[in-house]
Structure 1
Amino acid sequence: MMVTHEVHDIPTATGVMRTYLYRPDEEGPFPTILFYSEIFQQTEPIARAATIMAGHGFVVLVPEVFHELNQIGTVLAYDDAGKDKGNEDKFAKPLESHDSDTEALVQFARSQPFCTSQVGSMGVCIGGHLAYRAAINPDISAAFCLYATDIHSSTLPSEEGNDSLSKTADIQGELVMVWGKQDPHVSTEGRKRVYEQLESTQRRFTWLEVNAQHAFMRDGESRYDPALAIQMYLQAVAFFHRILR
């Protein structure tokens, strides 16, 4: 399918959130995927990833995940300065604000004539965490989480007992968790902690560990693994088609 692109400024509990919308250039309606970016917000690789998913029959919404902390339209560079700013933002925004962002995105999607009521989440890096976190919302039926950071460590700011790992039992939808074995950001012990929490709470999930480094989905950089990236896109498409349709 060919893809059309729109830009929307969505009101949230913590301010206006610039959101990039990708959808098939065909008559819908289509299910929605909330696509959460890395700390750098909507870079060109993220835009291409969203376009790929939209081309398979989904409305894809890419929010500026740190909209409260940056000017509208901010994209951080893949360099040390961008990484430092992104990590600063990551530890400045409480998870509860991400929750209200997710709620605003769901309500926006369900108000669009080209969207069905079915919503899933997907993300990479901190976005993988936010996709997992989004699944705590009962309106999220499916989450595809790629090398999600900070779930295992419970280091992102939140009210006591409201970190994402502790809230795992509230997830009602189905999950796919994808990890790179050579990812230094989530150790073997960290992955084991997430797996054990999912098992002990009897969530419905698929667990996949691949021989890859962190950010193996990010085209144009040295850690990119195109063969694995294609495999992940195909698995994500099949997963969302099964759950959201």
Structure 2
Amino acid sequence: MTNVHGESFDLPTPDGTADAYLAHPDDGAPHPGVLLYMDAFGLRPALEAMARRLAGHGYTVLVPNVFYRSGRTPLVELPEHINPAERPEIFATLMPIMQSFTPDMAVRDAGAYLDWLAASPLVADGPVGTAGYCMGGALAVRTAAAYPDRIAAAAAFHTGRLVTDTEDSPHRLLDRVTAELYFGHADQDQSMTAEQIAVLERTLDEVGARFRSELYEGAHHGYTQTDTAAYNAEAAERHWQALLDLLGRTL
């Protein structure tokens, strides 16, 4: 693992300014870029630590606050250990913010994030990878579909609602994706049932995608997030191996 530098900064977008976090090897050299998408709890120390860990493997990692239109992070006061069952007001605050964040906004923002990475001297030329957690996984898929020539790898971990009845459901966009894809499903996740996983995998097969879709047994929605009640150390380490393998193959 190399020494890593991490910093917060402001990133301009067509709709305003996103507060963001950047982690990269401390050598001043360009490294492959990774766009890391947050879960609903947002940009916080635990997510910054994940970005630094990934950067330690030789990547320049950008983590934007995707809810910047609603304010800078933290948008809601978070305890050191997040257990939504004990703190229902957290999701009560976040839910309207999540619902106001449309796929069109997400795709427009992704273009700004990718432009920023492409212009940065800390990022190597060529396509980048993207990975997302919980709702961030759907953002990773949407980004790979909207910018197929710019995304070489996309990973989604404990991501719900990849298969919905809506016309713009993430699984309906898969025919536009050229990136290699990885899905790490939590088997204790009501937002991504066995039936929905089957539809996702069938769609991936139909469009000829390069993908791996794996079930993490005994894991709950949020298993990678060290500061939440859902954290599962064994599943989280498995996710790191899968993510590093994917990025190593593609970037």
Q: Same fold (TM over 0.5)?
A: yes
- Please tell me whether residue 94 in structure 1 is matched to residue 102 in structure 2: yes
Matched with 1:158 is none
TM-superposition CA deviations, 1:48-92 (whole Å, max 9, x none): 2111111111111111011112x2233432432222222221211
- Greater Cα shift, 81-90 or 208-217: 81-90
Q: CA deviation at 1:154?
A: 5.0
1:173 aligns with 179
Structure 1 residue 22, shift from structure 2 partner: 0.6
Is the aligned partner of 1:224 residue 2:226? no
How far has the Cα of 1:45 moved from its partner?
Answer: 1.9
Matched residue, 1:152: 163
Equivalences for 1:45-194 in 2 at 5 Å? 45-69=46-70, 71-76=71-76, 77=78, 78=82, 79-117=87-125, 118-136=127-145, 137-138=147-148, 139-153=150-164, 161-194=167-200
CA distance in 1, matches of 2:183, 2:4: 27
Which shows bigger deviation, 36-45 or 77-86?
77-86
SS at match of 1:11: strand
Check whether the contact 1:42–1:75 (CA below 8 A) recurs between aligned residues: no
TM (norm. structure 2) is 0.89
Alignment partners' CA distance in 1, 2:16 and 2:28: 32
Q: What is the CA-CA distance between 1:190 and the residue it aligns to?
A: 1.5
The letter for the 2-side match of 1:107 is D
Superposed displacement of residue 127, structure 1 = 0.7
Aligned length: 238
SS in 1 for 2:172: coil
Aligned to 1:208: 214
The answer to whether the 8 A contact 1:145-1:177 is kept is yes
Which runs of 5 or more residues in structure 2 are unaligned? none
Partner SS for 1:152:
coil
Identity fraction in percent: 24
Cα distance in 2, alignment partners of residues 83 and 40 from structure 1: 9
Q: Does structure 2 retain, via aligned residues, the 8 Å contact 1:35–1:123?
A: yes
Q: For 2:73 and 2:135, locate their aligned partners in 1 and report how far apart those are by CA, in whole Å.
A: 19
Deviation of residue 213 (structure 1)? 1.2
Distance 1:175 1:24 in 2: 25
Is 1:8 aligned with 2:14? Answer: no
Give the SS at the match of 2:220: coil
- Check conservation: 2:158, 2:223, Cα contact below 8 A: no
Query: CA 1:134–1:91 in structure 2 vs 1: closer, same or farther (change >3 Å)?
Result: same
Distance across 2 between alignment mates of 1:107 and 1:203? 25
Aligned-partner residue type, residue 6 of structure 1 = E
89-98 vs 212-221, which deviates more? Answer: 212-221
TM-score normalised over the length of structure 1: 0.92
Which whole-Å CA distance do the structure 1 matches of 2:227 and 2:40 have between them? 17
Q: Which residue of 1 aligns with 2:240?
A: 233
Give unmatched runs, 5+ long, in structure 1: 156-160
Contact 1:95 1:163 in 2 (8 A): no
Q: How far is the alpha carbon of 1:225 from its aligned partner?
A: 1.4
